[in-house]
Amino acid sequence: MSFFGFGQSADIDIILDGAEARKIAEVRTEEGRLKERHPLYYDGESISGKVNVTLRKPGSRLEHQGIKIEFIGQVELYYDRGNHHEFQSLVKELARPGEMTHSMSFNFEFVNVEKHYESYTGANVKLRYFLRVTVIKRLSDLVKETDIAVHTLSSYPDVNSSIKMEVGIEDCLHIEFEYNKSKYHLKDVIVGKIYFLLVRIKIKHMEIAIIKKETTGAGPNVFTENETIAKYEIMDGAPVRGESIPIRVFLAGYDLTPTMRDIAKKFSVRYYLNLVLVDEEERRYFKQQEIILWRKGDRIRKPISHSSSTVSNNVHSLQSTAATPSTPELKSPDGRPHAFTRQDSTNETTDLMSKLSTGEINPTSEDPRVTVETSPVAEE
């Protein structure tokens, strides 16, 4: 930052080690237009490199009160500009107060840096990691920042609990929908089907959409931003009872991030599949279901000991849903599916809600933080 056109006396460059070999991640900028490219780091990786401070006018001197480099991870809420919430902050001193008579280069290394959260640029919030070099001077500091991108990897079994539910409106429309999994990785395919149990309205078409909900803030000021990431028609025309419509959505083609819950207690990003049926009178019936998105790591680690076999997962083909722990069919006491009374015809959309019984596996209720302790000591 220079005032009154005095100009900077020196240029600062931050060069990261291993930049050529490192993967680049494309991160959306705030305006959403251009994509910035940043070197990609993972949790636990060390960040090292060097800082070049180059004097503009050769032969000039740069007097300073110290040079330091910081690694900062912070959450910026757009509606609260200027208030950055730093959840991670490391600092290293590069030079003690003194005078630079010529351009200098300083090495730095932050060892095994914790990076719990993924870099994210959203509609109302931004989480970023960056290195900041500060040359402290009397009037105004010289500052240079460079961003890095962080991806968080997860590991989930390939076959996990599917989502299966029967929903509808009494005497008008009963459908059963099924998605093959509740947790999908970012390059996964959603495979499912819609089965019509009862059709008494004239349906024009059916579409499926992926909705991203970004919730920011806490307590009384909570903002939710909904964005439709993808939408396409899966059925055109009126179905009849007993008809089954397949669903296949390739996630790799869309701009998705992993599901993020309560990041740094500041924001969440969650994804939903929205199934929408539209009838002849343009009334919309919809059912939203959350799915967990995760980022799969393609890194292979060295085998630990001589004999190691992978987790013996049950290998199930997608057809045999009976074998996987799926939801039992939801039925009310008299055998009919539960439903929500249809809203007035003047209203556009209707939420097909189904009453959640204990048997249904709803991904949102699963708390990975539930831990259990066992002592294998006690034996017969």
Partner 1 sequence: MSEDLERPKYLHTDSERGIKVVVIHKTDTGFGFNVRGQVSEGGQLRSINGNLYAPLQHVSAVLKGGAAEKAGVVKGDRILEVNGKNVEGTTHRYVVELIKSGGDQLTLTLLSVSPSDAEKLEPTEETTGYSYIDYTEKRSLPISVPDYHYVERKAEKFVVYDIYMAGRHLCSHRYNEFVELHNNLKREFIGFNFPKLPGKWPFALSEQQIDSRRRGLEQYLEKVCAIRVIAESDLIQEFLTESNEENCGLLNVEIKVLLPSREVVTVGVSRNATADIVFEAVMRKVGLGGKAWQAFSLFEIMEYNFERKLQPGEIPHSIYIQNYTTAAATCLIIKRWLFSISEEIALCHNDQIATLFFHQAIDDVNRGFIYAGERLYQLKVLQDPGRKHDYLALARELPGYGEIIFPHCGCDSRKDGHVIPSIGLQQFRLRACSEDGTPESQIIEFPWDIVTSWEIDEEGMAFCLQYKKPEKNPRWIRIHTPYYVFLSECCDKVYQERRSQEEVG
Binding site for partner 1 (CB under 8 A): 3, 42-46, 80, 82-83, 85-87, 89, 112, 114, 116, 139-140, 152-157, 160, 183, 218-219, 221, 262, 264-266, 294, 297, 299, 301, 304-305, 307-312, 366-379
Minimal distance, residue 312 CB to partner 1, in Å: 8
Minimal distance, residue 138 CB to partner 1, in Å: 8
Distance CA 203, CA 189 (A): 26
- Smallest CA-to-CA distance from 143 within 127, 128, 157, 130 is with 130
* Strand arrangement, sheet containing 244-250: 163-169, 173-179, 189-199, 244-250
Question: What is the identity of the amino acid at 203?
Answer: I
In the complex with partner 1, the residue whose CB is nearer, 211 or 264, is 264
In the complex with partner 1, the residue whose CB is nearer, 1 or 21, is 1
Distance CA 146, CA 36 (A): 12
User: In the block, which residue shows the tokens 């007035």?
Assistant: 344
Helix (H, G, I), strand (E, B) or coil at 93: strand
Distance CA 178, CA 162 (A): 7
DSSP annotation of 296: B
Minimal distance, residue 304 CB to partner 1, in Å: 6
Judge contact between 67 and 135, C-beta under 8 A. Answer: yes
In the complex with partner 1, the residue whose CB is nearer, 258 or 337, is 258
In the complex with partner 1, the residue whose CB is nearer, 99 or 373, is 373
Phi, psi of 167 (to 5 degrees): -135, 165
In the complex with partner 1, the residue whose CB is nearer, 121 or 161, is 161
User: In the block, which residue shows the tokens 């076959």?
Assistant: 159
Minimal distance, residue 265 CB to partner 1, in Å: 5
Minimal distance, residue 122 CB to partner 1, in Å: 18
Minimal distance, residue 373 CB to partner 1, in Å: 4
In the complex with partner 1, the residue whose CB is nearer, 85 or 213, is 85
